[in-house]
Structure 1
Amino acid sequence: MGSSIAASDVDIDIGHLVRSLTRKWWLVLGVSLAVGAGAYALASKSTPLYRAEARLLIEPRESVFTRPTGNAGPEVLLDSEGVASQAEVISSAQILLDVARQLDLASLEEFQDKPSAVNRALVFLGLARDPGVIPPEEAVLINLREKLEVYRIENSRVIVISFSSEDPELSASVPNAIADAYVSSQRAAKLESSESATGWLAPEIEDLRERVRQAEGKVAEFRASSNLLLGQNNTVLAAQQLSELSSELSRVRASRSAAEARARTVRLAVQNGAAVETLAEVQASPLIQRLRERQVELRAQIAELSTSLMSGHPRIRALQSQLADLNSEINQEARRILGALEAEAESARQREQELSASLDRQKEEVAKTEEAQVELRALEREAASERELLESYATRFREAAARLDRNYLPVDARIFQRALAPSLPYYPKPAPMALAAFAGTLLLMSVLILLQELFSGRALKPAPGGRQQVRAPLPEIARVEPEQRVREIVSEAIDEPAELPAAASSEMDVQAAAGALMSSGVERVVYLSPEGDEAAAVSVGIARELADAGMRVLLLDLTISGAASLPMLESRSFYGITDLLTSEAQFADAIHSDLYSSSHVIPVGTADPEQAMENIDRLPIILGSLSAAYDVLMIECGPTTAGSIARLMEDKTDVVVSIINRNDESVAEVLAELEGEGVTPMLVHSPVRYDPPAHPTDRDAA
């Protein structure tokens, strides 16, 4: 497995970040104090602003005693959307313009546009609107809206009207005037609504009256033409007659039954020879009553004479003869009564038949009237609806007219808090503003310094659990402690100044070259190895020397064979520069750690070289990003020509020619090309052919 630069291989050096802030504390504090002082000065010179607010409560003001008849139920409260709509009405242009005219805001200096130099420049460039072409009322309205704030308090029906101004009295006058204007506009709206209602209801009521008259006339006309005249209890006459006939028929039937029963009783008594004088129907006759009285007298006389006379006495026989005559008269009278009863029963039967016939005829008449009543009821419903609508309109008209006459138009809003002129300005607050500016600048400067350290890579360090960096010694290079090595490198750089490479015969070893590069402050080094891949050991050695000295170093391998990166990695199968050029990998995937030092390396990569060359224009961008992240960027180009490295050169770039044999023709050709390009290279000699040191795993296995 390779040793790639991933999030688990590096960590943030908190100590370095703290030290960077400590080193630049004077800069952070100085800038923060300057900004805070400037903010205090600006705030102290700013025009003071005052703010006042008025508050309205949106609620029904109608009394239960004066509420219209149709609204007898509980008052309906406005919902949140309704209250928000009222807030928009308050801040409408019409109300604001009325307030501006009432308070003559156009004459006040703070409502007059005085464009600054910046505004005039923007107007000249066409980036802003010329205030001179804005109508005065529109300009006042714009300034008024900028200073005004109308909002609803959450979860309530309270609307706040807040206004800020340079004049404390004006800051209170404007909200009060707006609140009064809103209440007046609502009252005017109700007045207009009532006037419109009465104006519309008056002719509508007249039309309804005519329609009611016509509808009721149609009902009466149809009732008369259809014989649907009303009798008692608003009952149709035919139905009433049917009811009367039915009642009469019932009565006649009962009378007939009674007459037949009486006649039958008398008939049976006569036929059976019974004493008919005992029958109630017979006893009711006055003649029978007189004959019975005479019969009782004769029987009394006979009984009295029988005590002294024999039954054959003429007087007794005369009385008995009279008694027999009386009995005969009683029987005759009973037969006459029977005839009368039978005649009465027959009369009742005939009356019953007549009534039954009349009842049948009346039923047919009622059936006909029922059909007509269906249409009659429809006409009556239409007349009733027209009548109800007329009464409703008349009631509303009277209510609206009464409200207009008495000028009773309650508004559903109440000003429960009027604005008062403030004594202290809300802006500016020099001390809090200066303190906020100081704290903000202090924080911003600290963040900028920390970001600079992070992006430069100086605040990154290897992760504690990462691969242990074990560096194998280069041939013929003595190993010393890091601090001593840094002192020696710097000493050699001072003893052998950087201008030595100007002479073709001036050759340096790896240690001297590292010291010279460190002292010169170079940021990018381009390596040429005319004699082949074996000379690439120079770039590896210098990279490790600079890394041991505490610098962040990256070696970019642009050789075909990967000769520079192979000694630093475990294998060739790592993402590298070709993968970056083809966008198949990110920087975190292509940057790997050296097995034997703290330096980093980007190998050749695994992508197709021809495809990578098609995106060679991306190489300068990649190099720029790497230069910003590392102290020194080293580019090993291998055995290439001097003209091919032109795109790799920039400010603070040195060229190093790695040589094994000074007299090699390829070295001379490269030096000549560089001299022709005006480039003075640094010659670094590789004393022996370089064999890559054994990997740690190989040594452990040995």
Structure 2
Amino acid sequence: MSRVASDQDVDIDLGQLVRAVWARRLRILTITALGAAVAFAGAKIVSPQYRSETRVLIEPRAPAFANTQTNDASAGPLLDELNISSQVQILQSADLIKQVINNLKLYNLPEFDAAANGSALADILVALHLKKNPLENPPEERVIDAFTQRLQVYQVPGSRVIGITFTSKDPKLAASIPNAMAQVYLAIQSGAKLASNTEATRWLEPEIDNLRQKVSEAEKKVADYRTTHGLLQTNGTTTFTAQQLNDISVELTRVRTDRANAEARAQAVRNALSSGEASDTLGDIMSSQSIQRLKATESGLQSQISDLQTSLLNNHPRLKSLRAQLADIRTQIRQETQKILASIENETKVADLRAKELEQQSDTLQANSARAGEDAVGLNALEREANAQRQLLETYLVRYREAASRADRNSSPADARIVSKAIEQVDPYFPKVVPIVVVAAVATLIMSAIVIMLTELFSGRALRPVEASDVEDKVEEERQGDAAPVPAPKLAKPSMLTAAMDNDEEPEAESVKEAPADDNEFSVSSVASYLTDCRAPLAVSISPSGDNGSAATVALARVLADTGRRVILIDMTGSGYPSELMAENPEALGVTDLLCGEAAFGETIHGDRMSDAHLIPQGVSDVRQAMRGVDRLSLLLDALTSAYDIVIVECGAADVAGVSRLTRSKEIEIILSLPEIDEAAFVGLMQDFQSAGYERVVLMSGGEEAAMRSPARHAA
């Protein structure tokens, strides 16, 4: 049986919990051993699972004859994180899984179609419609589902390596499936590149034929245009007309030079003839054979004359004859010089005529060249079109040769390679017998100890009552440590409840003797200090004894006002006694008038005639009609708490239901105003409020202060 009463405050006895566990240590150890044995048996019964892993490195790969620069360029996208994630999804694709299943004939293994050999428990669940019938799915889908449940594909963090892990009951199968998946993946990748090359060659063949025809037609148009417009080329860059114009210009320059040279030579001959100077220095004269013969004859005659003059007289017939011959020879030389001059002048005339003819031809060719420039615009357009078609054809031919060279499967390796193959495992991946047994033993030990502790707590053997003297000592210490006294009944005061229960068994004289000791502890000033210290914005006062309790509440408001707090009291009593004590005018507007809509909010607030406190009196309107709008009081209280330090609502002899209707919040101060302490009444009210969720309940006794400060009270 429990050692604690139902209404008594208790505490957990940790020593009793430890003693209870220690007393049942043999039972706990037995249960722990049994749990470890069950875990060991279960681990042995469960079929072992083996796991193997294959790792694939994603990297760009190309044939050995491929260009290194091309390989480097193609490696860019493979380094992207998204590309690696895409390869992981490809390895998990249904098409790849189906190909592996068909290659290894996994559909014949019971491990991949356990639904076909279902258990009795599974059949019961299906019959009760608690589980979907797996046989409703096609066999292929069931095999794929079982395969994907055992498969795990992931990217190794911080790398381009993809891990392929598979779990199976057969260690050989666990190793062969990842290797098979890697091989199928490489084949798919290589096949994709091969298909791309094959598709490229298939598409390029008709395109190349079409481009060849277009290039031929474009070049034919260029040739026809050249022929039609006379834009024949002598070399790669110059047309025939431009070449002719260039040749004529060169020839014209040469002819003009020859004419100037001939004119200079003729002028030299003329000057020699007119001045009688020797013409031996002139090249044209000295180059004449006739002149040379005449000059030789003249020289011979002069020699003879010189020889004969030494022996003969000047009038000798021989000398005369020789002089006559010499004069005739000189005449012939002069005549021959005249002929040479005439020949040179004829050359000048011929050169002049030739220059004029060449100038006419040049003018004609220049006009033709201008027309050819206009025709060259159309020719350039045709040549550009032909060049563009030719370049595109060459590009397609290069791509076609490259794609055709990679049409073989060995020439298109996959952009991945296996870096680690799965091997057959010796030790199973699951279950690990030793860790399972250790974890099961520790869990059983802890659960057994927890069950024993809970049993002790629920039975009450591990609970011990809290002594009233201990609580009173704690309250006394708090009162001595604070500057102002703090009332003991804050929240649910254990000492009051304990005293109430103890007084039921003690004689009545003892209860009466202890009552005066509590008067100072729950006085109006103590409650005022408590409200000031806790800074409570709203307090609801309940006066079960009627006007005497209401008078104590008025005294509380005046004490708070004397301490400098902004305080207002709302009279919600049926008698209106707080309004009688505080208001100057008995007919002042108040709560009932505000709720009935007959007064404004500011008109209902009045000052206390004996302190700085404020008052909202009861009012003069019908109470029943006003209570129909009592729900609006919560808005009124919210407005007042924002303007005043403390708002006190005096409800008279109200019950818990009335207070709950007044305010929605449970975090308020409930003051039980009992001028004379009645412990039974106080304990009953306190339990009612705590049951309703109001934990902050304070007892206030006394009322003589309000009677002493109220003239109306003395008159009564």
Q: Return the TM-score normalized by structure 1.
A: 0.64
CA contact (8 A) 2:524 2:556 kept: no
CA deviations over 1:394-447 (Å, ceiling 9, x no partner): 23323333332575221111111111122223334455467668589979989x
Q: How does 1:413-424 map to 2 (within 5 A)?
A: 413-424=416-427
Matching of residue 614 in structure 1 with residue 628 in structure 2: no
SS of corresponding position for 1:427: coil
Aligned to 2:334: 331
Aligned to 1:470: 485
CA contact (8 A) 1:51 1:162 kept: yes
Matching of residue 264 in structure 1 with residue 267 in structure 2: yes
Query: Which region of structure 1 is more displaced relative to structure 2, 401-410 or 109-118?
Result: 109-118
CA contact (8 A) 1:36 1:434 kept: no
Paired-residue identity, %: 35
Task: Report the AA paired with residue 112 of structure 2.
Answer: F
Alpha-carbon distance change, 488 to 129 in structure 1, aligned in 2, over 3 angstroms? closer
Matching of residue 639 in structure 1 with residue 653 in structure 2: yes
Give the alignment partner of residue 190 of structure 2, picking from 184, 187, 192. Answer: 187
CA contact (8 A) 1:277 1:334 kept: no
CA deviations over 1:603-623 (Å, ceiling 9, x no partner): xx99x9989952899xxxxxx
Aligned to 1:138: 141
Matching of residue 401 in structure 1 with residue 404 in structure 2: yes
Give, in whole Å, the separation in 2 of the partners of 1:565 and 1:35.
68
The Cα of 1:125 is off from its aligned counterpart by 8.5
Give the alignment partner of residue 177 of structure 2, picking from 154, 174, 177. Answer: 174
The Cα of 1:326 is off from its aligned counterpart by 1.0
SS of corresponding position for 2:406: helix
CA contact (8 A) 1:489 1:511 kept: no
Q: How does 1:476-625 map to 2 (within 5 A)?
A: 492-495=503-506, 509=512, 557-558=541-542, 613-614=630-631
Give the alignment partner of residue 241 of structure 1, picking from 223, 244, 249. Answer: 244
Matching of residue 62 in structure 1 with residue 62 in structure 2: yes
Unaligned segments of structure 2, at least 5 residues? 1-10, 455-465, 528-538, 544-548, 572-614, 619-625, 635-649, 663-671, 689-698, 707-716
CA deviations over 1:256-277 (Å, ceiling 9, x no partner): 1111111111111112222224
Matching of residue 101 in structure 1 with residue 102 in structure 2: yes
Give, in whole Å, the separation in 1 of the partners of 2:241 and 2:49.
92
Give the alignment partner of residue 156 of structure 1, picking from 156, 159, 170. Answer: 159
Alpha-carbon distance change, 378 to 610 in structure 1, aligned in 2, over 3 angstroms? farther
Q: How does 1:15-414 map to 2 (within 5 A)?
A: 24=17, 41=38, 44-45=42-43, 46-63=46-63, 65-67=65-67, 71=70, 74-77=73-76, 78=78, 79-112=80-113, 114=115, 129-233=132-236, 235-404=238-407, 407-414=410-417
CA deviations over 1:516-541 (Å, ceiling 9, x no partner): xxxxxxxxxxxxxxxxxx9x979999
CA contact (8 A) 2:673 2:701 kept: no
The Cα of 1:141 is off from its aligned counterpart by 2.3
SS of corresponding position for 1:414: strand
CA contact (8 A) 2:61 2:416 kept: yes
Unaligned segments of structure 1, at least 5 residues? 1-17, 450-457, 475-481, 501-505, 516-533, 543-554, 579-604, 618-635, 649-655, 675-684, 693-702
SS of corresponding position for 2:56: strand
The Cα of 1:111 is off from its aligned counterpart by 2.8
CA contact (8 A) 2:552 2:673 kept: no
Alpha-carbon distance change, 485 to 197 in structure 1, aligned in 2, over 3 angstroms? closer
Give, in whole Å, the separation in 2 of the partners of 1:642 and 1:386.
100
Give, in whole Å, the separation in 1 of the partners of 2:93 and 2:336.
113
The Cα of 1:289 is off from its aligned counterpart by 0.7
Aligned to 2:666: none
Give, in whole Å, the separation in 2 of the partners of 1:661 and 1:22.
39
The Cα of 1:690 is off from its aligned counterpart by 6.6
Give, in whole Å, the separation in 2 of the partners of 1:687 and 1:370.
125
Alpha-carbon distance change, 638 to 278 in structure 1, aligned in 2, over 3 angstroms? closer
Q: Return the TM-score normalized by structure 2.
A: 0.63
The Cα of 1:563 is off from its aligned counterpart by 5.0
The Cα of 1:285 is off from its aligned counterpart by 0.8
CA contact (8 A) 1:241 1:362 kept: yes
Give, in whole Å, the separation in 1 of the partners of 2:82 and 2:569.
63
SS of corresponding position for 1:162: strand
The Cα of 1:56 is off from its aligned counterpart by 0.9
Give, in whole Å, the separation in 2 of the partners of 1:282 and 1:687.
167
Task: Report the AA paired with residue 226 of structure 1.
Answer: H
CA contact (8 A) 1:540 1:564 kept: no
The Cα of 1:162 is off from its aligned counterpart by 1.7
The Cα of 1:222 is off from its aligned counterpart by 0.7
Task: Report the AA paired with residue 81 of structure 1.
Answer: L
Task: Report the AA paired with residue 639 of structure 1.
Answer: A
Give, in whole Å, the separation in 2 of the partners of 1:66 and 1:643.
93
Aligned to 2:530: none
The Cα of 1:64 is off from its aligned counterpart by 5.2
CA contact (8 A) 1:660 1:686 kept: no
Alpha-carbon distance change, 399 to 657 in structure 1, aligned in 2, over 3 angstroms? closer
CA deviations over 1:362-418 (Å, ceiling 9, x no partner): 111112112222221221222122222222222332333333257522111111111
Alpha-carbon distance change, 291 to 466 in structure 1, aligned in 2, over 3 angstroms? farther
Alpha-carbon distance change, 120 to 511 in structure 1, aligned in 2, over 3 angstroms? farther
Task: Report the AA paired with residue 76 of structure 1.
Answer: A
Give, in whole Å, the separation in 2 of the partners of 1:359 and 1:59.
71
Query: Which region of structure 1 is more displaced relative to structure 2, 241-250 or 75-84?
Result: 75-84
CA deviations over 1:579-628 (Å, ceiling 9, x no partner): xxxxxxxxxxxxxxxxxxxxxxxxxx99x9989952899xxxxxxxxxxx
CA contact (8 A) 1:32 1:439 kept: no
Give, in whole Å, the separation in 2 of the partners of 1:296 and 1:156.
114
CA contact (8 A) 1:59 1:414 kept: yes
Alpha-carbon distance change, 485 to 411 in structure 1, aligned in 2, over 3 angstroms? closer
Give, in whole Å, the separation in 1 of the partners of 2:250 and 2:404.
56
Task: Report the AA paired with residue 166 of structure 2.
Answer: F
Q: CA RMSD in A?
A: 5.7
Give, in whole Å, the separation in 1 of the partners of 2:206 and 2:487.
113
CA contact (8 A) 1:226 1:372 kept: yes
SS of corresponding position for 1:278: coil
CA contact (8 A) 1:149 1:161 kept: yes
The Cα of 1:252 is off from its aligned counterpart by 0.8
Give, in whole Å, the separation in 1 of the partners of 2:198 and 2:301.
107
The Cα of 1:564 is off from its aligned counterpart by 7.2
The Cα of 1:343 is off from its aligned counterpart by 0.8
Give, in whole Å, the separation in 1 of the partners of 2:510 and 2:56.
92
The Cα of 1:231 is off from its aligned counterpart by 1.6
Give, in whole Å, the separation in 2 of the partners of 1:222 and 1:434.
98
Give, in whole Å, the separation in 2 of the partners of 1:513 and 1:267.
172
The Cα of 1:310 is off from its aligned counterpart by 1.9
Query: Which region of structure 1 is more displaced relative to structure 2, 373-382 or 123-132?
Result: 123-132
